[in-house]
Amino acid sequence: MEVILKEDVNNLGQRGDVVKVADGYGRNFLLPKKLAMEATAANKVVIEQMKQAAVRHFAREKSEAESLVTQLNQVELVFERKVGENDHLFGSVTSAEIAQQLEQKGFTIDRRKLQLEEPLRQLGEFHVPVKLHREVTAHVKVTVKAEEAEA
Protein backbone atom coordinates (compact mmCIF):
# COMPACT_ATOMS: atom_id res chain seq x y z
CA MET A 1 0.00 0.00 0.00
CA GLU A 2 1.32 3.46 -0.87
CA VAL A 3 0.60 6.32 1.53
CA ILE A 4 1.52 9.98 1.77
CA LEU A 5 2.74 10.97 5.23
CA LYS A 6 0.94 13.92 6.81
CA GLU A 7 3.34 14.03 9.78
CA ASP A 8 6.92 12.97 10.45
CA VAL A 9 6.97 9.29 11.45
CA ASN A 10 10.09 7.81 13.06
CA ASN A 11 11.85 5.15 10.98
CA LEU A 12 9.47 5.74 8.07
CA GLY A 13 9.80 9.24 6.62
CA GLN A 14 9.12 12.94 6.77
CA ARG A 15 5.92 14.86 6.17
CA GLY A 16 4.97 14.77 2.48
CA ASP A 17 6.93 11.63 1.60
CA VAL A 18 5.24 8.93 -0.48
CA VAL A 19 6.16 5.60 1.13
CA LYS A 20 5.23 1.98 0.58
CA VAL A 21 4.04 0.24 3.77
CA ALA A 22 2.39 -3.03 4.68
CA ASP A 23 -1.38 -2.98 4.18
CA GLY A 24 -2.13 -3.65 7.86
CA TYR A 25 0.26 -0.96 9.11
CA GLY A 26 -1.27 1.61 6.80
CA ARG A 27 -4.89 0.64 7.34
CA ASN A 28 -4.75 -0.03 11.10
CA PHE A 29 -2.22 2.52 12.32
CA LEU A 30 -1.27 5.32 9.92
CA LEU A 31 -4.69 6.11 8.45
CA PRO A 32 -6.77 6.02 11.70
CA LYS A 33 -4.23 8.20 13.53
CA LYS A 34 -4.29 10.64 10.59
CA LEU A 35 -0.53 10.30 10.16
CA ALA A 36 -0.96 9.46 6.47
CA MET A 37 -3.44 9.36 3.62
CA GLU A 38 -3.74 7.07 0.64
CA ALA A 39 -1.55 7.96 -2.33
CA THR A 40 -4.10 8.77 -5.04
CA ALA A 41 -3.59 11.21 -7.91
CA ALA A 42 -5.82 13.83 -6.25
CA ASN A 43 -4.04 13.44 -2.92
CA LYS A 44 -0.64 13.85 -4.59
CA VAL A 45 -1.71 17.29 -5.85
CA VAL A 46 -2.92 18.24 -2.37
CA ILE A 47 0.30 16.99 -0.81
CA GLU A 48 2.41 19.20 -3.10
CA GLN A 49 0.55 22.22 -1.73
CA MET A 50 1.06 20.87 1.80
CA LYS A 51 4.80 20.45 1.12
CA GLN A 52 5.15 24.08 0.08
CA ALA A 53 3.32 25.19 3.21
CA ALA A 54 5.47 22.84 5.28
CA VAL A 55 8.67 24.35 3.88
CA ARG A 56 7.52 27.81 4.94
CA HIS A 57 6.44 26.46 8.34
CA PHE A 58 9.77 24.63 8.77
CA ALA A 59 11.74 27.80 8.01
CA ARG A 60 9.66 29.84 10.47
CA GLU A 61 10.07 27.22 13.23
CA LYS A 62 13.80 27.04 12.62
CA SER A 63 14.26 30.82 12.82
CA GLU A 64 12.24 30.93 16.08
CA ALA A 65 14.35 28.10 17.49
CA GLU A 66 17.59 29.84 16.51
CA SER A 67 16.53 33.02 18.28
CA LEU A 68 15.68 30.97 21.39
CA VAL A 69 19.10 29.25 21.30
CA THR A 70 20.97 32.48 22.06
CA GLN A 71 18.77 33.06 25.11
CA LEU A 72 18.94 29.45 26.37
CA ASN A 73 22.72 29.20 26.02
CA GLN A 74 23.06 31.97 28.63
CA VAL A 75 20.72 30.30 31.16
CA GLU A 76 22.26 28.77 34.27
CA LEU A 77 20.19 26.53 36.54
CA VAL A 78 21.30 25.67 40.07
CA PHE A 79 19.92 22.72 42.01
CA GLU A 80 20.75 22.12 45.67
CA ARG A 81 20.49 18.53 46.86
CA LYS A 82 21.25 16.75 50.11
CA VAL A 83 24.51 14.86 50.08
CA GLY A 84 25.89 12.13 52.30
CA GLU A 85 29.37 10.81 52.85
CA ASN A 86 31.86 11.19 50.01
CA ASP A 87 29.53 13.72 48.32
CA HIS A 88 27.02 10.97 47.53
CA LEU A 89 23.83 12.60 46.22
CA PHE A 90 20.46 11.66 47.72
CA GLY A 91 18.03 11.60 44.82
CA SER A 92 18.77 13.11 41.42
CA VAL A 93 17.97 15.98 39.09
CA THR A 94 15.53 14.88 36.37
CA SER A 95 14.55 16.41 33.06
CA ALA A 96 11.14 17.29 34.51
CA GLU A 97 12.79 19.37 37.26
CA ILE A 98 15.02 21.10 34.73
CA ALA A 99 11.98 21.89 32.54
CA GLN A 100 10.10 23.21 35.58
CA GLN A 101 12.94 25.54 36.53
CA LEU A 102 13.25 26.72 32.92
CA GLU A 103 9.52 27.52 32.98
CA GLN A 104 10.03 29.61 36.14
CA LYS A 105 12.63 31.59 34.20
CA GLY A 106 10.15 32.20 31.37
CA PHE A 107 11.04 29.43 28.90
CA THR A 108 8.32 26.94 28.05
CA ILE A 109 10.28 23.83 27.08
CA ASP A 110 8.79 20.34 26.96
CA ARG A 111 10.79 17.96 29.15
CA ARG A 112 11.01 15.49 26.26
CA LYS A 113 13.11 18.01 24.33
CA LEU A 114 15.79 17.83 27.01
CA GLN A 115 18.36 15.31 25.78
CA LEU A 116 19.19 13.91 29.21
CA GLU A 117 19.98 10.18 28.90
CA GLU A 118 19.67 9.60 32.64
CA PRO A 119 19.02 11.84 35.66
CA LEU A 120 21.98 13.76 37.09
CA ARG A 121 23.21 11.88 40.15
CA GLN A 122 26.48 13.70 40.87
CA LEU A 123 27.60 17.07 42.11
CA GLY A 124 29.09 19.31 39.47
CA GLU A 125 28.42 21.34 36.37
CA PHE A 126 26.66 19.82 33.38
CA HIS A 127 25.67 21.07 29.92
CA VAL A 128 22.27 19.61 29.04
CA PRO A 129 21.38 19.68 25.32
CA VAL A 130 17.89 20.94 24.45
CA LYS A 131 16.66 19.89 21.00
CA LEU A 132 14.46 22.83 19.99
CA HIS A 133 14.17 21.85 16.34
CA ARG A 134 15.30 19.04 14.07
CA GLU A 135 18.41 21.06 13.17
CA VAL A 136 18.77 23.36 16.20
CA THR A 137 20.09 22.37 19.63
CA ALA A 138 20.78 24.63 22.61
CA HIS A 139 22.81 23.83 25.73
CA VAL A 140 21.64 24.76 29.23
CA LYS A 141 24.19 24.92 32.03
CA VAL A 142 22.99 22.93 35.06
CA THR A 143 24.90 23.05 38.34
CA VAL A 144 24.19 20.52 41.08
CA LYS A 145 25.64 21.51 44.42
CA ALA A 146 25.42 20.39 48.02
CA GLU A 147 22.62 21.78 50.14
CA GLU A 148 23.85 23.94 52.99
CA ALA A 149 23.61 22.08 56.30
CA GLU A 150 21.56 23.78 59.02
CA ALA A 151 23.49 24.78 62.14
pLDDT tens per residue, range 74-121: 889 999 888 888 778 888 889 999 999 999 998 888 888 888 888 888
Task: Name residue 63's amino acid.
Answer: S
Same domain, 75 and 138: yes
Domain boundary among 28, 46, 68: 68
Quick check: pTM over 0.85? no
**Residue range 11-39: average pLDDT?**
90
12 with 48, same domain? yes
- The reported pLDDT for the residue numbered 151 is 43
Q: What is the pLDDT of residue 3?
A: 92
Domain count of the fold of the chain:
2
Answer yes or no: is pLDDT of 30 > 90. Answer: yes
Residues 136, 83 share a domain: yes
Residue 127 lies in a domain: yes
Question: Which CATH number is 128's domain given?
Answer: 3.10.430.100
Report the range out of 23-27, 88-92, 112-116, 145-149 with the highest average pLDDT. Answer: 23-27
Residue 151 lies in a domain: no
| Domain stop point among 19, 41, 68 | 68
Domain with residue 50: its CATH number is 3.40.5.10
The answer on 91 and 60 residing in a single domain is: no
Same domain, 9 and 53: yes
Q: Which domain holds residue 48?
A: 2-68
